[in-house]
Structure 1
């Protein structure tokens, strides 16, 4: 098992990967640098190996697929994950690693949004999207994560070996954050400086499609991780609709003794039943979630023993 492993997922980063690997070796001389090449069509793999990195291949396209492979294959006490585009300074890597190794942190978030991100990033929709996602996650999960979508993080062994990678693309960072918050893992924030990509280096992000996928991931994980809140809100909405349409029918019945809008009454009944079903679905899923949390704690104990051995 390595003490520190630096994990760099890459797709067509020949302009920057050599510098990122050398910066990582300078910041963490004892670390093993792993570059996972994701079907690059340029010299990314060649230049990474030349700079001294261990180069491996992941043939399923997508950042989530690369991270799944890295987490399965690499064993280390501390993992530093950083993008290969040279937008994150490796000078903060030592502080992040120390939080994992000495302060028992499970995930350290490299916080761009509290420093230079909004000045350096030239894409206004990305700026707005990052702020929206941060506000949504912190409100829904009652957390205080300052940068949800940063690609610069440090992880403990137990986080990596208990994190189920379900996403295939860039929404993986959101999934990591929610997993840590939901399972009551120790999360720390380290403010980092952010610099935009150097000239000639192109981002692989699509503002609209990737943004939609991130929002879809938040919606899906809110439903999965907080089912009582999700289905409780749905139940309340259905109940309000049922009552809203029933009031005029009920008033007319009291005044005339007749129900001329019988289809509306039937619809109200079905909406009320759906509200009741949603409420009980939320309760059942919540109890299943509590059981899953207990099972997860037992899995953490097993992983902790593996680390000590």
Structure 2
């Protein structure tokens, strides 16, 4: 029997946490349910404790900080992570986890966007943001993940214990997806139902503020995980602009034998030089990244050997 841990990060979810815990008790009675309370100002922790969950307080604010502590603290074979807002049915979360239990995925994703998300969710900007993030990541990393930012996921021990959590807030889902793609973990997806929050329960996600953080995370991880592509793109743009600025100066020199626009010439040379420097940075950092990947693979082998 595999040891299953249900991970529920929470902040002010007193209206829904009881339903979430009881739902998982009915579907997976043998699972350990962990509720990590992130400085809630209501009775979330008290209700969770009364319902039999293992309650832990995480004082550092932000979902990323909660996930970091969960992954460090909890020992299990299969991890199921859902939000505490009762938007993901436990039976669907268990179906997601089955891919991990059967060895078909290191990280399994509950795909909301292919089912009921766009009809249940009442925040139109969230819908646009989900589509934008999905398109960006799939384009950059040449993947086809249907739901990048879902809060319903399942992991095996290998993924959890080797994932370096860097994000502090809601951008953690994006970071997990990109990390899995870059490190070539086996990713599975299961279409799940999504139900909007019940009346009185409010989302803590700010569309524009947290959306900006997600886009910033994508940019930073693109730079870190694909430096040659990132700096190569910058190099190409600088080089093209530099050439466009240089051509009129060069044509004028051919006709008259004089350089009439020295400032333009200096700018064009500066741009093309910057392009070469950017390209050189891309090659250097790409080599560093490959060495980092080699060390990561060695660490993964040691982790698997230790688990056996």
**TM-score, normalized by length of structure 1?**
0.98
Please name the residue that 1:296 is paired with. 296
Q: Distance between the aligned counterparts of 1:97 and 1:111, measured in 2?
A: 13
Please name the residue that 1:162 is paired with. 162
Segment of structure 1 superposing worse, 93-102 or 114-123: 93-102
Please name the residue that 1:247 is paired with. 247
Q: Distance between the aligned counterparts of 1:148 and 1:302, measured in 2?
A: 29
Q: Distance between the aligned counterparts of 2:101 and 2:120, measured in 1?
A: 31
Deviation at 1:221, TM superposition (A): 0.7
Tell whether the 8 Å contact from 1:77 to 1:307 is kept in structure 2 after alignment: no
Q: Distance between the aligned counterparts of 1:105 and 1:25, measured in 2?
A: 24
Q: Distance between the aligned counterparts of 2:120 and 2:97, measured in 1?
A: 26
1:161 aligned counterpart, secondary structure: helix
1:203-214 counterparts in 2 under 5 A? Answer: 203-214=203-214
Deviation at 1:96, TM superposition (A): 2.1
Please name the residue that 1:267 is paired with. 267
List gaps (5 residues or longer) in structure 2. none
Q: Distance between the aligned counterparts of 2:96 and 2:188, measured in 1?
A: 9
Deviation at 1:2, TM superposition (A): 7.3
* Matched length: 308
**TM-score, normalized by length of structure 2?**
0.98
Deviation at 1:28, TM superposition (A): 1.1
Q: Distance between the aligned counterparts of 2:241 and 2:104, measured in 1?
A: 49
Please name the residue that 1:233 is paired with. 233
Please name the residue that 1:279 is paired with. 279
Q: Distance between the aligned counterparts of 1:98 and 1:276, measured in 2?
A: 50
Tell whether the 8 Å contact from 1:234 to 1:275 is kept in structure 2 after alignment: yes
Please name the residue that 1:36 is paired with. 36
Deviation at 1:261, TM superposition (A): 0.8
Q: Distance between the aligned counterparts of 1:16 and 1:2, measured in 2?
A: 28
List gaps (5 residues or longer) in structure 1. none
Deviation at 1:302, TM superposition (A): 1.5
Tell whether the 8 Å contact from 1:28 to 1:93 is kept in structure 2 after alignment: no
Please name the residue that 2:120 is paired with. 120
Tell whether the 8 Å contact from 1:100 to 1:156 is kept in structure 2 after alignment: yes
Q: Distance between the aligned counterparts of 1:215 and 1:178, measured in 2?
A: 12
Deviation at 1:267, TM superposition (A): 1.2
1:109 aligned counterpart, secondary structure: strand
* TM-superposition CA deviations, 1:51-77 (whole Å, max 9, x none): 110000000110001111101100111
Tell whether the 8 Å contact from 1:121 to 1:195 is kept in structure 2 after alignment: yes
Q: Distance between the aligned counterparts of 1:90 and 1:101, measured in 2?
A: 16
CA RMSD of aligned residues (A): 1.1
Q: Distance between the aligned counterparts of 1:174 and 1:93, measured in 2?
A: 19
